[in-house]
Copies of this chain bind each other. A is one copy, B any other.
């Protein structure tokens, strides 16, 4: 049943979840025993239905009438609140949380697929619950029982929303410079003072309360990131009965007006500036410490890894829906004639532009990016499930290592290439695609945020090359090496074209590991890291080629029973071929540059620019 919603292809989701990743096997594990293919499919159906009916229709409106600030509070168009009400009602948010916290314990893999529908339909509106989910998961992992009862349960019910407050105007990529101060109080609470920047969902009237998770510094602690502690700071203080009461001293000081992603309000937030200070009371915003002092960044990273994969998923979803829309347009729009049929013979009828090879090239490129990105994200989500549910400790540890090393790629690769997909989707539409009457224009603007937030592209490069591939004595890279070689072996065993693809990938993978070693052989972090962004891009492309090889293998044994299966599987194979022939070779000159330890950029004196 191919999708008609133009959000994601359900046929592709089914193929990736069941034919390739065998997500159904998860239901044989104790943790997911309550589930079945039917409950998975029901959740996917429900997600597509709600996303199509309640999220997609106001996507453009939420862009054109972005949230506004009246000096006191932030307002959003009414459709946002309606959509979020339906979403809360559906129970999907809680679906991805463990039963002990009031959830349904659905595998992360299925939740990722479900949530992608919402991101494809309306990335601005869907950010509210997804930020809330990240917040809730962090508190489940590191908060006290009381914090979970007070804040997590209402978040999972959709009554409270959550944020994460890390950046400050002077501290974005450099969290070591966070200056917000948290003064301990005799009653065990803290009072916070400072300003946080880029806070998505930082203020609105969409929920009964907003639960801010805030990085701040307890006076007397170590300098830098080692002195950061994490606090829950609710917009309204919560009474003993759990209901929101008095206003806490957290106030929006203004909104950021973005190129895209406009539906998600983004605020500058002041903590403890005195706007809600009761005469005679202690000044500052009331905060509750999460876990121990000075361990805030480690806790936040727990959320940030999930958030980074979420950014990749959002980028993928925008790329995916843009692909489907440009494909639909290319099938309908008549323009010009096929070269084979005489080219400029004006007496012949025009053909749909999908008949032109260059348009097919742009569509196939998009397909290879978005289906590759979906695969990467579902694979990473499977690793989360593996980490949670594998029987052997060894398998759980291996999943964690793999997830760690893949996270910067899962964040950055879709952000780069699914943005490129959106650019191609515009190009397929021609001038129409550049107008705000067509969806692809907005997708491109929305998607441009993704290489920036949750750690820029450059930060991901440093994370991958400077941390992930070297930490634990290189165990992360070894785990990835094992996973890649396992796929190569299966492809070689399959013979024919699969074996040929494996031969190609094997060469590039060898190159990636050799270059990694070469970079660190230099013994000089500055030289090693001079081109870490290039490294990120090259390794990212090789990793996605590996994902494509896995999918190619799955086509060989997939069920061809229903009418559209054959064409779908041929398309899947063709996209894999495209990726291997056109995309993978791009990494050759990148690896050459890295292997040469090139420092042309690093050695450039700022005065020469």
Contact = CB atoms under 8 A, between A and B. Distances in A.
Interface of A: 167, 170-174, 176-177, 197-198, 223-225, 227, 256-259, 327, 330-331, 334-337, 339-340, 344-347, 350, 352, 354-365, 367, 423, 426-427, 430-431, 433-437, 441, 444-445, 448-449, 451-453, 456-458, 461-462, 525-526, 529-533, 567-568, 570-571, 574, 577-578, 581-582, 585-586, 588-589, 592-593, 598, 600-602, 604-609
A571 B604 contact: yes
A588 B589 CA distance: 8
Contact of A604 (B360, B423, B435, B604): B360
Nearest to A326: B609
Nearest to A532: B358
Contact of A526 (B171, B173, B357, B574): B357
A404 to B, nearest CB: 19
B361 A533 contact: yes
Given A445-B259, A458-B358, A570-B608, A430 B600 contact: no
Contacts of A361: 531, 533, 601-602
A172 B451 CA distance: 33
A74 to B, nearest CB: 16
List the number of copies, as a whole number.
2
Contact of A259 (B167, B227, B434, B598): B434
A570 B458 CA distance: 26
Contact of A602 (B172, B174, B360, B456): B360
B570 A434 contact: no
Given A589-B589, A602-B357, A604-B360, A448 B434 contact: yes
A585 B581 contact: no
Contacts of A167: 431
Nearest to A352: B606
A197 B358 CA distance: 23
A344 B172 contact: no
A335 B174 contact: yes
Contacts of A604: 360, 363-364, 571, 574, 578
A177 B346 contact: yes
A177 B345 CA distance: 10
A441 B606 contact: no
Give the top 7 A-B pairs by smallest Cβ distance, nearest first.
Answer: A224-B346, A571-B608, A585-B589, A361-B601, A174-B336, A357-B602, A223-B346
A118 to B, nearest CB: 22
Contacts of A602: 357, 360-361
11 contacts: A174-B337, A354-B606, A358-B601, A361-B531, A361-B601, A365-B601, A426-B452, A427-B457, A574-B604, A578-B604, A585-B593
A197 B426 CA distance: 18
Given A172-B430, A198-B431, A423-B448, 8 more contacts: A172-B431, A259-B444, A357-B601, A360-B604, A361-B531, A571-B609, A585-B593, A586-B589
Contact of A578 (B350, B354, B574, B601): B601
Nearest to A567: B607
Given A357-B529, A606-B354, A431 B452 contact: yes
Nearest to A577: B600
Given A339-B525, A430-B456, A593 B609 contact: no
B363 A609 contact: yes
Nearest to A531: B361
A463 to B, nearest CB: 12
Contacts of A334: 170
B593 A364 contact: no
Contact of A582 (B340, B344, B593): B593
Contacts of A433: 452
Given A601-B357, A604-B360, A436 B176 contact: no
Contact of A360 (B173, B256, B570, B601): B601
A436 B259 contact: yes
Given A223-B347, A259-B445, A367-B609, A600 B585 contact: no
